[in-house]
Chains A and B, each alone.
Chain A
Amino acid sequence: MTALLSSPESPPGAADLAVDQVTLTVIDNYLATTCREMGVAMMRTAYSPMFNEALDFSCVLFDAAGRMIAQAEFCPSQIGTIKFTIEWMLDELGPDVYRPGDVIVMNDPYRGSGHIPEHTLLKAVFHGDEIVGFVANCAHLAEPGAKAPGGLAGDATDIFQEGLRLPPLWLQREGVPQEDIWKLIFANHRTPKVTYGDLMAMVGSLNVAERRLTSLLDSYGYETVTTATDDLIGIAERRMSEEIRRIPDGVYRFSDIIEDDGVAEGSYLVDCTVVVDGGEVTCDFTGSSGQAAGPMNGTYAVTASSVYNAFMHITDPTIPRNEGCYRPINVIAPRGTIVNCEFPAPLVGGNTELSPRITDIIFGALADALPERIPASHGGTVCCFLFGGRHPDTGDLYSHFHFEGVGWGGRPFADGDSQVIVIIGNARNTPVEIFETRYPVRVDSYRLLEDSGGPGLNRGGLGVERILTMVVDEVTVSALFNRMLVDPFGIGGGKPGANSGIYVRLAGEESWSTFKEKFGTMSPSKFSNILLHRGDQVKILAPGGGGWGDPLERSADRVLADVAEGLVSAVGAARDYGLDIERRGGRWEATPTPERVAAGSGTLADRDRRYAGPPEIVEVSP
């Protein structure tokens, strides 16, 4: 079959293809399936719950020129940065250095990695004597050898406190492990056995990918495969460009606040001007604050990755996910700012906290241009809670990176989902039964938080409350949260979602305090190495999503359903939705409050979708 397909309205992508359509579809599916299978291999063999339960990793394929040719449903932030990581590695190492069976590791954020915990492994794939592509994966190691167990020290003041930096190094040469490199890593990580298991899981995953890629080349031949991947990249670029063309040309601007950085007083502005011009878009962060003293900075790779992530979300999800998608998107991030920090600034939280914020900022900027697509802000923080110590059962050191899902923002067409992982990732939570089996910390409760979803015509999703009790004499804890002081914003009259929070209650105490109140940390949400003891408790609040549209316009039926389900309280219904709720004879009934009556039939058309500007910063007390 040689005919090329094009849909009735002749979208881009069908022209100038060198490989027939069926073969293209087959190869595209095959490559994505390969990425998924790499993921399964990692999950099944890795040691840390970060890998095998949370799945905080990504698997990606590159062609011989280092262009990304396939990805799958992994962590968007890693997928965005790994493009820069691999470009850097190939550039720094130069050609002709790879042998079959070589595996190279790298995690340096100043060489294109997202942050130190994320380690990238790379393997060249040979077909005959030729390098025909690269297989790579990127994963968050639970223990990178930072100043605090689990990494992510919320008060790091430079990169050296954030863990062991690895420039591109050979973990394996021609299939032989490089003992000296492994020894160096083991000597610097608190949990070397876990590091070994996890890195070997990554190596195993590369083996799986290598096998599949080789088999594809055996079936179709090098020519066809490379021509097909060229075509796929071209198609992705043209389709992404066409999607951008559908956004009305214009200059859009939005900003939000990073509340603090764990080290110094004061907050940071992240400001973005989005210029849509035909089939291209430029996101310019000029005007953002200078780089932070603490770890809230992003590298250029992180900022660009966050922008890509935003555009992937608001464009056609069927576009092949490869290098071509990124080409029509330009990112300007001035050096020395919070969105493109300079060595040796600390940055471990940029990848977890700044990144989702940037994605929400792009959404906010385009809310007017794409009113039918753009949601309100999601909870937008990973709620990084780190802890570690010596496990009494094993006598070994342990450390864990714990995080939470958040409420997602109300959408033009539906409520936001409750408890879904932050937009930069696609990790899972760690089951309580696995968490408690592995670590000496008990989960007393883990539940959705009533009224935490931002009120709106379409409500934001709910956040969660988790209460943890330390069940050994000493546990060292650290945190890196955001959105504890600055609300997840609503859109078009929607109200903000509830804030995040982290609180402590020492054994025997009645009430909860912030870590700032109890331990004098600079920030209530970003700190490291606080020593807790048996019976001490930590309460984590994951934020809700912002609301979309005026809550007074939400129908009484939907509000009643929320009250019946326990998502909104009667108090919240009266305060936010203007409905007095009563239960009569086993049924919930609603009466409009005078405020709701006065709001009358507010129409969708006259909504002010503008974000009201930087919010006031207020101290929070529990």
Chain B
Amino acid sequence: MTSVRIGIDTGGTFTDLIAFDATDGTVTSLKVASTPTAPLRAFLGAIEASGVAPDDIAFLVHGTTVATNTMIQRAGARVGFICTAGHEDIPYIQRVNRQFLYDLTWNKPRPLLVSRRDCFGVAERIGADGEILTPLSAEAIDDLCDRLAANGELEALAVCLLFSYLRTDHEQALAEALRERFPELPLSVSHEVAPIWREYERSSTVIADAYVKPLMQTYVASLAGGLADADIDVNWAMMKSNGGLMNATAAADHPIHLAMSGPAGGAVAGRHVAGLLDLENVVTIDVGGTSADVALILGGEVGYTTSYEVEWGIPAAIPLMDIHTVGAGGGSIAWVNAGGFLQVGPQSAGADPGPICYGAGGQQVTLTDANLVLGHLDPDYFCGGTMRLDEGLAHRGAAEMAAGLDMSPQELAHAIVEIADENMANAIRMVSIDRGHDPRHFALLAFGGAGPLHGAAVARKLHIPTLVVPPFPGSFSALGLLLGDLRVDKLWTQSFRSDRVGPAEVAERFATIARAATEELRAQGFEGECELRYAINMRYLGQNYETEVEVPPIDALDTSGAAEQLERAYQAFGDRHRAMYEYVIADAVIEMISFRVSAIGAIPHPHLARVQPTAGHLETSRQVHFGAGGLVDCRVLHRRAMPIDEVLEGPLIISEEGSTTLLEPGMRVRRSAEDVLIVEVGA
């Protein structure tokens, strides 16, 4: 009986699994320690621990940080970079700006290349109108191949020719020749990976893709082998940075799309819960061990961006869910800067040694230690009691640091929590207020091990009226893996001016892209009905940055209708411009820069079942410090013991296996039938 869908989210510290059984709607969640040196072990170990029989597994989705970590740790392949002759230094010259002002110790980031000698020019040139200025000759290709062969140490190849986003002939010809001559070397080609203008950003992206490709191919093959050995014969997929699913083998061929695979799961799950509750506008915050990931759901949808960076100055311009990350998590370290200012993060104690209270040798006070000192966390029920926290150690550490600052340990702990809350609130301001969205019109959805602990305070700071804590907050990202759909995003760059283009041309452009996107989705084995979504990146003629505007399908055959749709799209662009910058340029020519079609293949999703409360014996109380409220005797309730649809008052701590929800005095909470906690934060 193949009825179980499994999501496995491999993070740096824990591997989370969610299993959903379609026959009875049961959802199982569990956590096992990650095994970074042999990820397969934790991956299979989690499946085994879930008790799901191999034959029962219908579908498996995996989210992973392998691609990200490979880049961050600089552990990828030695890439040969191939570009238009005369421009070999693109990856080294970069954009020439500096990350910080006034810092003579700053070093320009190194590209994901081993040596400048690994950059190879090829004689060819396409111009700004897409015209061929210098044809790519067979001799030039041979000469390039000879130089590549002479290098002898390359493990992957990346190609980025100037203006290839306008005209792909040369890149295609070159790719064909390289595949023939170097069949053993994984190859990434810029017009396929990221057909965007700006040669540095495109080069950096295609290099990153090649950089992680050999490793991701090995990784996917190893998981596939492991699944086969475990007699799990199942179609499986990976979650891309854009929240869409991709057949695993296809994913290994376009690995840069997996850069934000992990956090994307959380945003997808957030979108799902928002839909469940009929919430149009939601800010999601996923607080883990080292970072907080923030995303915005507007009108029920998560925004998209292309501004991912491996590190500052090393971009990978792939479509990804617009998730803003700040270094604020349970492991964030408290420190005092040269001016005597208390700071929290972005450095993290990670999982090893971790916070002081882990008792694994950590010496620096972290946010988790501060929460423990204040009584926010239960030392005996961390990770559902699988890990014990040492209160004494945390107290001693906080007392030591506090003494140097002339404070009490509780004052210090409170200041640490307060600053971390503020850092999280700032991350939300960056994606909301700064883009013209008032957080007061949003709900805050908090998850991740530490999200529900800080959610209420963050919401209060931002005057967000409602906090939502979803079911399984500690493994919510894994749940998200089961809530994604197969998705192919195709972005084509070709500029059209509003004064020179007709709806027919736009419609034709869209039709071509839609065909390509649908074909790719079919190639991944999807047989159902494709949903197609269209968007145009627009700007005023003369501006250099585009704003993406979703448009309805434009039908070439219905000319008057198409013209109207296009006019409405221009109008929508103007509205967004005004909302963000408080002005529009009347009568200006609008330039359409690129066209995106997303082909979405819907797959069955788990339904979060209606829950029944279990016995009320899971209730205790403990002394908890609240900011201004001082020490309070606080009720501690297990989530399972919460009544449905009944309003409870703070102060209140709601504990569960993967997380802890903290309600300040005066806040009110209700547990819905879908097992969602809805907190009224108050003014």
Annotate B522-559 by CB proximity to A: 1 below 8 A, 0 otherwise: 00000000000000000010111101000000000000
A44 pairs with B543, CB closer than 8 A: yes
Name the interface size band of chain B: 35 or more
Q: How far is the CB of B491 from chain A (nearest CB, A)?
A: 16
Q: How far is the CB of A419 from chain B (nearest CB, A)?
A: 5
B581 pairs with A45, CB closer than 8 A: yes
Give which listed residue, A22, A200, A208, contacts B418 with CB less than 8 A: A22
Of B72-80, B99-107, B595-603, B661-669, the stretch lying at the interface with chain A is B99-107
Within 8 A of B (CB), among A192-211: 193-194, 196-197, 200-201, 203-205, 207-208, 211
Given contacts A8-B404, A446-B87, contact A49 B544 (CB under 8 A): yes
**In the assembly, what is the distance between CA of A445 and CA of B89, in Å?**
10
Given contacts A434-B544, A446-B86, contact A317 B93 (CB under 8 A): no
What is the chain A residue whose CB lies nearest that of B429?
A33
B92 pairs with A448, CB closer than 8 A: yes
A21 pairs with B342, CB closer than 8 A: yes
Give which listed residue, A4, A37, A318, A375, contacts B338 with CB less than 8 A: A318
Give which listed residue, B199, B422, B430, contacts A431 with CB less than 8 A: B199
A11 pairs with B340, CB closer than 8 A: yes
B430 pairs with A33, CB closer than 8 A: yes
Q: How far is the CB of B386 from chain A (nearest CB, A)?
A: 34
Q: How far is the CB of B207 from chain A (nearest CB, A)?
A: 16
Give which listed residue, A55, A204, A320, A567, contacts B581 with CB less than 8 A: A204
Give which listed residue, A212, A418, A427, A433, contacts B198 with CB less than 8 A: A433
B583 pairs with A200, CB closer than 8 A: yes
For B105, the chain A residues whose CB sits under 8 A away are: 411, 413-414
Given contacts A418-B92, A419-B92, contact A22 B415 (CB under 8 A): yes
B339 pairs with A318, CB closer than 8 A: yes
For B50, the chain A residues whose CB sits under 8 A away are: none
A76 CB-CB contact with B under 8 Å:
yes
A197 pairs with B405, CB closer than 8 A: no
For A433, the chain B residues whose CB sits under 8 A away are: 128, 162-163, 165, 197-199
B407 CB-CB contact with A under 8 Å:
yes
A431 pairs with B198, CB closer than 8 A: yes
A208 pairs with B581, CB closer than 8 A: yes
For B542, the chain A residues whose CB sits under 8 A away are: 47, 193-194, 197
For A319, the chain B residues whose CB sits under 8 A away are: 339
A589 CB-CB contact with B under 8 Å:
no
What is the chain B residue whose CB lies nearest that of A432?
B199
B422 pairs with A43, CB closer than 8 A: no
**In the assembly, what is the distance between CA of A194 and CA of B588, in Å?**
12
Of A144-152, A222-230, A308-316, A345-353, the stretch lying at the interface with chain B is A308-316
Given contacts A21-B342, A318-B339, contact A52 B117 (CB under 8 A): no
Given contacts A564-B115, A565-B116, contact A428 B405 (CB under 8 A): no
Q: How far is the CB of B50 from chain A (nearest CB, A)?
A: 43
A13 pairs with B342, CB closer than 8 A: no
B101 pairs with A208, CB closer than 8 A: no
B392 CB-CB contact with A under 8 Å:
no
B340 pairs with A447, CB closer than 8 A: no
**In the assembly, what is the distance between CA of A407 and CA of B115, in Å?**
19
Q: How far is the CB of A82 from chain B (nearest CB, A)?
A: 14
Within 8 A of B (CB), among A355-410: 373, 375, 404-405
B415 pairs with A21, CB closer than 8 A: yes
B86 pairs with A445, CB closer than 8 A: yes
B414 CB-CB contact with A under 8 Å:
yes
A25 pairs with B93, CB closer than 8 A: no
**In the assembly, what is the distance between CA of A314 and CA of B103, in Å?**
8
B434 pairs with A208, CB closer than 8 A: yes
**In the assembly, what is the distance between CA of A566 and CA of B88, in Å?**
12
B544 pairs with A6, CB closer than 8 A: no
Give which listed residue, B92, B544, B582, contacts A46 with CB less than 8 A: B544
For A373, the chain B residues whose CB sits under 8 A away are: 104
Of A282-290, A295-303, A436-444, the stretch lying at the interface with chain B is A436-444
Q: How far is the CB of B398 from chain A (nearest CB, A)?
A: 14
For B543, the chain A residues whose CB sits under 8 A away are: 44-47, 52, 197
**In the assembly, what is the distance between CA of A53 and CA of B87, in Å?**
19
A598 CB-CB contact with B under 8 Å:
no
A3 CB-CB contact with B under 8 Å:
yes
Within 8 A of B (CB), among A15-71: 21-22, 24-26, 29-30, 33, 37, 40-41, 43-47, 49, 52-53, 55
A37 pairs with B415, CB closer than 8 A: no
**In the assembly, what is the distance between CA of A191 and CA of B434, in Å?**
31
B1 CB-CB contact with A under 8 Å:
no
For A429, the chain B residues whose CB sits under 8 A away are: 93, 95-96
B28 CB-CB contact with A under 8 Å:
no
B101 pairs with A436, CB closer than 8 A: no
What is the chain A residue whose CB lies nearest that of B86?
A445
Given contacts A1-B418, A5-B340, contact A55 B583 (CB under 8 A): no
**In the assembly, what is the distance between CA of A255 and CA of B336, in Å?**
39
For A200, the chain B residues whose CB sits under 8 A away are: 583, 585
Annotate B36-75 by CB proximity to A: 1 below 8 A, 0 otherwise: 0000000000000000000000000000000000000000
Q: How far is the CB of A440 from chain B (nearest CB, A)?
A: 9
A331 CB-CB contact with B under 8 Å:
no
Given contacts A197-B543, A431-B199, contact A448 B93 (CB under 8 A): yes
What is the chain A residue whose CB lies nearest that of B153?
A586
A511 CB-CB contact with B under 8 Å:
no
**In the assembly, what is the distance between CA of A296 and CA of B87, in Å?**
33
Q: How far is the CB of A15 from chain B (nearest CB, A)?
A: 9
A566 pairs with B116, CB closer than 8 A: yes
Within 8 A of A (CB), among B93-142: 93-105, 107-108, 115-117, 127-128, 133
Given contacts A7-B336, A25-B341, contact A437 B128 (CB under 8 A): yes
For A201, the chain B residues whose CB sits under 8 A away are: 581
B97 pairs with A55, CB closer than 8 A: yes
A555 CB-CB contact with B under 8 Å:
no
For B406, the chain A residues whose CB sits under 8 A away are: 3-6
Of B336, B418, B543, which is in contact with the most chain A CB atoms at under 10 Å from its CB?
B543
B343 pairs with A7, CB closer than 8 A: no
A517 CB-CB contact with B under 8 Å:
no
What is the chain B residue whose CB lies nearest that of A436?
B128
**In the assembly, what is the distance between CA of A426 and CA of B338, in Å?**
25
B620 CB-CB contact with A under 8 Å:
no
B433 CB-CB contact with A under 8 Å:
yes
A22 pairs with B117, CB closer than 8 A: no
What is the chain B residue whose CB lies nearest that of A421?
B96
For A313, the chain B residues whose CB sits under 8 A away are: 102-104
B577 CB-CB contact with A under 8 Å:
yes
What is the chain A residue whose CB lies nearest that of B197?
A433
**In the assembly, what is the distance between CA of A373 and CA of B87, in Å?**
34
What is the chain A residue whose CB lies nearest that of B540?
A197
B301 CB-CB contact with A under 8 Å:
no
B89 pairs with A426, CB closer than 8 A: no
B426 CB-CB contact with A under 8 Å:
yes
B512 CB-CB contact with A under 8 Å:
no
A420 CB-CB contact with B under 8 Å:
yes
For A447, the chain B residues whose CB sits under 8 A away are: 86-89, 93
Besides A3-B411, A433-B198, A434-B197, 5 new A-B residue pairs in contact (Cβ under 8 A), listed by A number? A46-B544, A211-B433, A413-B105, A446-B93, A564-B115
Closest 5 CB pairs of A and B: A445-B86, A204-B581, A405-B96, A52-B544, A47-B542
Mark A residues whose CB is within 8 Å of B.
Answer: 1, 3-8, 10-11, 13-14, 21-22, 24-26, 29-30, 33, 37, 40-41, 43-47, 49, 52-53, 55, 73-74, 76, 193-194, 196-197, 200-201, 203-205, 207-208, 211-212, 215, 235, 239, 309, 312-320, 373, 375, 404-405, 411, 413-414, 417-421, 426-429, 431-434, 436-437, 442-448, 464, 467, 564-567
Mark B residues whose CB is within 8 Å of A.
Answer: 85-90, 92-105, 107-108, 115-117, 127-128, 133, 162-163, 165, 197-201, 336-343, 404-408, 411, 414-415, 418-419, 422, 426, 429-430, 433-434, 540, 542-545, 547, 577, 580-583, 585
Task: Report 5 cross-chain contacts, Cβ distance below 8 Å, ordered by A residue.
Answer: A4-B406, A6-B340, A45-B543, A52-B544, A419-B96
